[in-house]
C-alpha cells in the first residue's frame, strides 16, 4: 500500500497537487487543494463511495482509473460549501452560488459520459446528489442517488463473483463505490418514504477494507490556508470504523424500508418491535472508538445523529399505536431521539462550530423538529410548541450559510408550529414554490395516518401506499 499512501504530508493529510489539470473551471491549484481538503475534512466519508487514498494517488499522478474530471468537479462542488473564499462562488456576491460553477461543470461532463459505466461515474453522481441535498433540491438529490445505485448494479458492483479475477486493490475500490451508492440510496429512500433501488437479497459484496489504510491516521480540523497543528485538536480518524458502522446501519435501514413499504401485506407491531431491537443492538455494539466521549470528529457525531434520525423516521408514524411491549411508546422513542439529536448538534457546535457541517444535517434537524412539534401537542399548547421548535429553528439558521436547504426547513417548521401556510415571500430569494417541492414529501413521510390505533397488536393497513 505504499503507493497508495504516496502524497501524505507531515501532518498525515493527503496533499493534492496540480489540480487545475482536472477541471475547466478557472481555479488555481491552491484553491483546488483548499476545496479538496475541506471536503475530506468535513464531509467525507459520509455517504461516500470514494476511497481517498486511491483517489489521491491518481489525482496527483494525473492519470488512473480512480480519478476523473467528473469526480474532481463533484468533490469541488461540495468543498465549495465549506469555503469562505470568493473563488468558491460562481457569483462572488452571492453565497448561494457556492459550488455552482463546479457542479455545472460536473453536469456537463456527466452528459458526455452517457452510457459509460465506471466507478468514477458512480462516485461523481453520489457527490452531485450531496450537493443538491445541501441546496435543497431534493428531486435532483434523489435522482442522482438513484442513478448512482442503478449504475452500480448494472456494473455488477453488488456481486462479489464479478470481482474474483480482479486485483485486490481494484476490488476494494469497487466495493467502496457500491457501498457509498447503497448508503445514499437508503438515506433518500428513508427521507422520501419509498422502496430502495436494490432488492432485499441484492447486496452480495462485503464491506470494503480499503479504509484500513487510514486507521492510524489523524483527523485534523481544516478551515482555510493552514492546517491546525495544536495537539489537542487532533483526533484519530477511525475511518474504517466509521464506514463499517454506516454500512451496517444502512443494511438495517434497507430491511426497515422493505418491512414498511413492500406492500405485500400488513405491517404488525411485532415487525416494528423486531426492527427497534435490531437498531438498539447496532447502537449498543458500536466499537469503543465510536462511542461518545471517545471520539468527536464530524463523521463520528454524524453517525450518532443519523442513527437517531432513522429511529424518528421509522417510528414517527406509529406514535398513536401500542407495541407488544407496553413499556415502549413510539412517542417517547421519537422524542428521546429528537432530544439526542439536539444534544449532539450542540456538542458539534461547541467542538467545531456550525459553519461547516455535513450536507445531510438539515434533514436530520428537520426530523428532530417535526418530532418535537408532535410531542409538544401544538393544538393544546401553542406557546410551548413555539418554544420547543425554537431550538431546531435556531440551529437551522446557524447552518444556513453552509446549506441553503436549512432556510427552507426553518420556514416549514415555523409554519407548522404556527399552523399557518408558508409565506409567499421571504428573504434570500426563497419562495413558497421553493419550499413545497423540497419539504412536502419529507413532511408527508412523517405524518402517516395509521389505522387500528386501539388494537393490542395493530395492523397498519396501507402503510406502504401513503406516498403517491
pLDDT tens figures, 155-180: 999 887 666 678 888 888 999 999 99
- Contacts for 419-423: CB closer than 8 Å, 24+ residues apart: 419/378, 419/379, 419/382
Question: What number is the average pLDDT over the span 29-46?
Answer: 96
Band (pLDDT 50/70/90 cuts) for residue 451 is: very low
pLDDT value, residue 420: 35
Higher pLDDT, 116 or 6: 116
Q: What share of the chain is helix, strand, coil (3-state, %, to 5)?
A: 60, 5, 35
CA neighbours within 13 Å on the CB side: how many for 213?
23
Band (pLDDT 50/70/90 cuts) for residue 423 is: very low
Higher pLDDT, 391 or 79: 79
Q: Is residue 151 pLDDT above 70, yes or no?
A: yes
- The share of the chain scoring above pLDDT 70, in percent, equals 77
Band (pLDDT 50/70/90 cuts) for residue 209 is: confident
Q: Is residue 411 pLDDT above 80, yes or no?
A: yes
Q: Is residue 200 pLDDT above 80, yes or no?
A: no
Judged by average pLDDT, the poorest of 6-20, 105-119, 284-298 is 6-20
Judged by average pLDDT, the poorest of 44-48, 118-122, 441-445, 457-461 is 457-461
pLDDT value, residue 422: 35
Band (pLDDT 50/70/90 cuts) for residue 271 is: confident
- The share of the chain scoring above pLDDT 90, in percent, equals 51
Band (pLDDT 50/70/90 cuts) for residue 399 is: very high
Question: What number is the average pLDDT over the span 105-112?
Answer: 97
Q: Is residue 21 pLDDT above 80, yes or no?
A: yes
What is the per-residue pLDDT across 311-360, written as a single tens digit (0 to 9) for each?
999 888 776 666 656 677 888 899 999 999 999 999 999 999 999 999 99
Take residue 399 and report the three cell numbers written for it. Answer: 447552518
Residues in the chain: 468
Band (pLDDT 50/70/90 cuts) for residue 12 is: very low
Q: What is the mean pLDDT of the chain?
A: 81
> Which parts of 24-115 fold into alpha helices (H)?
29-42, 52-61, 69-80, 100-112
Q: Is residue 298 pLDDT above 50, yes or no?
A: yes
- Contacts for 108-113: CB closer than 8 Å, 24+ residues apart: 109/68, 109/69, 109/70, 109/73, 110/70, 113/70
Q: Tell me the domain boundaries of the chain.
A: 1-206
pLDDT value, residue 169: 85
- Count the neighbouring beta carbons within 10 Å of the beta carbon of residue 190: 26
Cβ-in-10-Å burial (0-12, 13-18, 19+) of 192 comes to middle
pLDDT value, residue 210: 61
Q: Is residue 106 pLDDT above 50, yes or no?
A: yes
pLDDT value, residue 341: 97
Question: What number is the average pLDDT over the span 233-254?
Answer: 89
What is the three-class DSSP state of 218? strand
Question: What number is the average pLDDT over the span 17-21?
Answer: 95
Question: What number is the average pLDDT over the span 233-257?
Answer: 89
Q: Is residue 226 pLDDT above 80, yes or no?
A: no
Question: What number is the average pLDDT over the span 45-52?
Answer: 91
Question: What number is the average pLDDT over the span 212-237?
Answer: 70
- Count the neighbouring beta carbons within 10 Å of the beta carbon of residue 308: 25
Question: What number is the average pLDDT over the span 393-421?
Answer: 83
pLDDT value, residue 435: 43
Higher pLDDT, 236 or 321: 236
Q: Is residue 467 pLDDT above 90, yes or no?
A: no
Higher pLDDT, 159 or 61: 61
Amino acid at each position: 500500500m505504499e503507493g497508495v499512501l504516496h502524497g501524505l504530508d507531515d501532518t498525515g493529510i493527503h496533499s493534492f497537487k496540480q489540480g487545475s489539470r482536472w477541471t475547466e473551471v478557472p481555479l488555481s491549484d491552491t484553491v483546488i487543494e483548499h476545496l479538496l481538503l475541506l471536503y475530506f475534512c468535513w464531509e467525507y466519508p459520509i455517504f461516500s463511495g470514494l476511497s481517498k487514498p486511491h483517489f489521491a494517488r491518481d489525482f496527483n499522478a494525473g492519470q488512473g482509473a480512480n480519478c476523473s474530471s467528473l469526480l474532481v468537479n463533484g468533490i469541488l462542488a461540495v468543498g465549495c460549501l465549506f469555503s469562505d473564499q470568493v473563488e468558491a462562488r460562481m457569483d462572488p456576491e452571492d453565497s448561494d452560488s457556492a459550488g455552482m460553477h463546479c457542479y455545472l461543470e460536473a453536469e456537463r461532463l456527466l452528459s458526455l459520459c452517457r452510457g459509460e459505466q465506471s466507478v468514477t461515474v458512480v462516485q461523481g453522481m453520489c457527490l452531485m446528489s450531496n450537493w443538491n441535498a445541501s441546496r435543497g433540491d431534493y428531486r435532483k438529490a434523489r435522482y442522482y442517488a438513484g442513478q448512482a445505485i442503478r449504475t452500480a448494479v448494472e456494473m455488477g458492483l453488488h456481486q462479489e463473483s464479478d470481482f474474483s479475477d480482479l486485483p485486490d486493490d481494484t476490488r476494494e475500490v469497487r466495493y467502496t463505490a457500491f457501498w457509498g451508492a447503497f448508503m445514499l440510496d437508503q438515506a433518500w429512500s428513508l427521507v422520501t418514504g419509498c422502496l430502495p433501488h436494490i432488492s432485499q437479497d441484492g447486496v452480495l459484496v462485503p464491506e470494503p477494507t480499503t479504509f484500513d489504510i487510514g486507521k492510524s491516521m489523524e483527523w485534523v480540523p481544516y478551515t482555510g490556508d493552514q492546517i491546525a497543528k495544536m495537539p489537542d485538536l487532533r483526533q484519530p480518524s477511525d475511518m474504517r470504523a466509521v464506514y463499517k458502522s454506516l454500512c451496517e446501519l444502512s443494511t438495517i435501514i434497507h430491511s426497515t424500508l422493505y418491512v414498511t413499504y413492500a406492500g405485500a401485506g400488513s405491517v404488525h407491531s411485532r415487525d416494528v418491535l423486531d426492527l427497534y431491537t435490531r437498531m438498539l443492538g447496532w447502537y449498543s455494539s458500536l466499537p469503543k472508538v465510536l462511542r461518545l466521549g471517545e471520539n468527536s470528529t464530524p463523521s463520528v457525531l454524524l453517525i450518532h445523529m443519523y442513527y437517531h434520525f432513522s429511529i424518528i423516521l421509522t417510528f414517527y408514524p406509529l406514535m398513536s399505536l401500542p407495541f407488544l411491549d407496553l413499556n415502549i411508546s413510539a412517542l417517547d422513542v421519537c422524542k428521546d431521539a429528537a432530544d439526542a439529536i439536539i444534544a449532539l448538534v450542540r456538542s458539534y457546535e461547541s467542538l467545531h462550530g456550525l459553519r461547516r457541517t455535513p450536507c445531510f444535517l438539515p434533514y436530520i434537524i428537520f426530523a428532530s423538529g417535526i418530532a418535537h412539534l408532535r410531542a409538544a401537542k401544538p393544538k393544546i399548547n401553542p406557546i410551548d410548541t413555539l418554544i420547543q421548535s425554537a431550538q431546531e429553528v435556531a440551529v437551522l439558521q446557524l447552518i444556513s450559510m453552509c446549506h441553503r436547504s436549512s432556510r427552507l426547513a426553518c420556514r416549514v417548521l415555523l409554519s407548522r408550529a404556527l399552523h399557518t401556510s408558508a409565506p409567499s415571500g421571504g428573504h434570500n430569494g426563497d419562495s413558497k414554490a421553493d419550499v413545497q417541492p423540497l419539504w412536502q414529501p419529507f413532511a408527508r413521510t412523517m405524518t402517516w395516518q395509521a389505522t387500528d390505533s386501539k388494537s393490542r397488536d395493530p395492523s397498519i393497513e396501507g402503510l406502504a401506499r401513503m406516498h403517491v
